Amino acid sequence: MKLDPSFIWTAFVQILSVIPTTLLITAVSVVCGLVIGTAAALIRTFRVPVLSEVAAAYVIFIRGTPMITHLLLIYFGLSLGVDALSKQFGWAFRSSSIPMIAFAFIAFSITAGAYASEVIRSGLLAVNRGQLEAAHSIGMTTGQALRRIVVPQAFAASLPNVSNLVVGILHASSLAFTVSVVEVTAKAQIVASTNWKFFDAYLAAALIYWGLTLLIERASALVEKRINIYYRGGVA
Amino acid sequence: MIQLKGITKSFGRQQVLKGIGLTVEKGEVVVILGPSGSGKTTLLRCINYLEKPGGGEIRIGDCRVDCRAASKKDIRELRKRTAMVFQQYNLFRHKTALENVMEGLVVVQKVPKEEARARSVQLLEKVGLGAKLDAYPSQLSGGQQQRVGIARALALNPEVILFDEPTSALDPELVGEVLAVIRKIAKEGITMIIVTHEMGFAQDVANHVIFMDEGVVVEEGRPNEIFTSPKEERTKQFLKRFTPEGVYSI
């Protein structure tokens, strides 16, 4: 086997141009996932009737199936559904006009939501019940208590796991190439398709993923330090 | 005035409060004594609905709540008229001492921020923590945290402050500073209901003492009556364990 450093460099530079796509998929999925996950976690923690069973089923199904399956199900299912609806109501809209990246956004948000819900739930469990009682005792409504007292502390407690989730989604965003979104992995494949030096191209992609991961870990450490300024407990 | 009538509470099959009646006049300091498991903390927590009573009636000032038909609004009204000091302090961990005291003023009572800050600073100075305004709970000793807890309760200007064993989690060296603060505010005529195991303090600060056991009020009266000449056998038995210092025999 012979490596071609100059081609690795060429591939590296070319792949750089699609980093925004990879980061966009990651960011949208994580942000939507955290919103879905926080809602699901609150619903389950406070045992809201009916909804808590729905939330539990969602988490169990999504965590029990591979992410690529979610993407394919959304890609084909949503297309079929949209087209059927359009036909029914006589709309001009066709599934073919949905941008490919939208399928990735939807599918990965659903995936991230299930994982995030467990992350946030563990954070909520880490907040002492006394915090909620104290908030109630000074006259806050449960909504105010959650917003101002419980959820901020739960987020702080789940921060290390959230950063884990971000890294996981960043790596998994490579699956978007299956629905022809040109992100880092797809770009590597395209770059190599002219000279068949796939190994070199994927090596460049790996370096890029690694670099992005280091940046995320660094950023999360900074945020953790800032948010947990009040936290002097634990073993650290 | 605070009036409780026939308050009951069960946890599963176990009935912990068997119809408690209680009247507290404005400015009175009531101390509730009793062995562990007698229901005194539960009673206190029923008054601001941290526990939902099974039945009875709670009246605080102009707010009267039938415990069988309490609405969310009723519960909020009760909580607006009460404040609680917890055994485990329960300060908001992500907020500084000052923010802890301000929180209820700003969020619940909608006091403008500047005014809330000024009042909170004043209260923290009163409990001797003027130098710790920006400290987080984790940077304070237990005694200091509990004093912030007392300032947080005072800030709301409630009709009654409920103290749930305020010194039980403290090491003995720190009990004194907290009791001193409670004594100080008792003298200002703030209505208080205190659950405690500090007998000397109880005798000293109370206008009225209630002795509870197994979910009922066994005996109540003025502190010197209860402490020096209790009528009920159960009260005598309980108080015997707290012989004054120096007369322990082993």
Q: What is the mean pLDDT of chain A?
A: 91
CA distance B110 to B118: 14
Report the complex ipTM: 0.91
Percent share of chain B, pLDDT over 90: 70
Question: What is the CB neighbour count within 10 angstroms for residue B145?
Answer: 25
Interface size between A and B, measured as CB pairs under 8 A: 70
Contact A232 B83 (CB under 8 A): no
* pLDDT band at residue A227 using 50, 70 and 90 as cut-offs: confident
CATH 1.10.443.10 at A17-180, yes or no: no
Those of residues 150-189 in B touching chain A at CB distance below 8 A are: 152-153, 156
Closest chain B residue by Cα to residue A152:
B94
Residue B68 Cα distances to A169, B12, B19, B197, B240, angstroms: 50, 17, 13, 32, 39
pLDDT at residue B117 greater than cutoff 70: yes
Residues 6+ apart with CB under 8 A from B76: A139, A141
* pLDDT band at residue B211 using 50, 70 and 90 as cut-offs: very high
* pLDDT band at residue B250 using 50, 70 and 90 as cut-offs: low
What local confidence, expressed as pLDDT, does residue B245 receive? 53
Q: pLDDT of A6-48, one tens digit each?
A: 999 999 999 999 999 999 999 999 999 999 999 999 999 989 9
pLDDT mean over B62-87? 92
The token pair at A83 is 């087209």
Cβ contact A176:A183 at 8 Å: yes
Q: pLDDT of B75-105, one tens digit each?
A: 999 999 999 999 999 999 999 999 999 999 9
Strands of chain A, DSSP E: none
* Residue with tokens 């415990």, as numbered in its chain: B67
Phi, psi (deg, nearest 5) at residue B14: -90, 120
What local confidence, expressed as pLDDT, does residue A233 receive? 46
Closest chain A residue by Cα to residue B77:
A139
pLDDT at residue B70 greater than cutoff 60: yes
Q: What is the pTM of this model?
A: 0.83
* pLDDT band at residue B249 using 50, 70 and 90 as cut-offs: low
CA distance A128 to A126: 6
* pLDDT band at residue A235 using 50, 70 and 90 as cut-offs: very low
DSSP string, A90-153: T-S--GGGS-HHHHHHHHHHHHHHHHHHHHHHHHHHHS-HHHHHHHHHTT--HHHHIIIIIHHH
B38 touches chain A (CB under 8 A): no
pLDDT at residue B21 greater than cutoff 60: yes
| A205, burial (CB in 10 Å: exposed 0-12, middle 13-18, buried 19+) | buried
What local confidence, expressed as pLDDT, does residue A1 receive? 67
pLDDT mean over A158-164? 92
Domain boundaries, chain A: 17-180
Chain B residues whose beta carbon lies within 8 Å of the beta carbon of residue A232: 136, 138-139
Percent share of chain A, pLDDT over 90: 78
Of A130, A141, A229, the CB nearest to B76: A141
Contact A130 B90 (CB under 8 A): yes
